[in-house]
């Protein structure tokens, strides 16, 4: 599969410290996106298109797993804001999961920690 995200059952969002990857949908309500490791210009446009297609499909809650993120450029931050706006315009919700200390600090410095909801800190 040539995609940046995996779909997992909603029970894995909160119950499992290690989310198991499945290829099935949970009534099109919740999807977990496993983020690319580097949020640079090359990867953010593909990631944005994938999020937009998920939102257009009617998904209302997206969990963005940042466990593997080692770098987030200014383009990556702008993409995150754009993704958040797209999801909110569709009356959806973006949850951030597994952000490392550096990414969490970046969110705090930019004020994104005030507009993003974190789970599993």
The CATH number linked to 31 is 3.30.750.24
3 located within any domain: no
5 located within any domain: no
52 located within any domain: yes
23 located within any domain: yes
100 located within any domain: yes
- Supply the pLDDT for residue 28: 60
CA distance 67 to 115: 19
23: domain range? 11-119
77 located within any domain: yes
Number of folded domains that form the chain: 1
The two tokens of residue 64 are: 């963005």
- Supply the pLDDT for residue 27: 52
**For the segment 17-72, what is each residue's pLDDT rounded down to a tens digit?**
433 332 334 456 788 888 877 777 777 888 888 889 999 999 999 999 988 888 88
Closest CA to 97 of 23, 38, 35, 39: 35
pLDDT band at 95 (very low <50, low <70, confident <90, very high): very high
1 has a pLDDT exceeding 90 = no
């Amino acid at each position: 599969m040539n995609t940046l995200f995996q779909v997992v059952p909603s029970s894995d969002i909160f119950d499992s410290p290690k989310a198991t990857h499945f290829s099935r949908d949970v009534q099109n309500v919740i999807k977990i996106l496993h983020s690319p490791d580097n949020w640079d210009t090359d990867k953010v446009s593909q990631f944005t298109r994938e999020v937009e297609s998920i939102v257009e499909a009617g998904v209302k809650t997206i969990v963005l797993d940042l466990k593997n993120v080692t770098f987030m450029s200014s383009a990556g931050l702008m993409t995150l804001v754009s993704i958040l706006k797209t999801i909110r315009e569709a009356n959806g919700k973006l949850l951030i999961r597994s952000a490392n200390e550096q990414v969490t600090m970046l969110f705090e410095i930019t004020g994104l920690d005030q507009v993003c909801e974190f789970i599993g800190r």
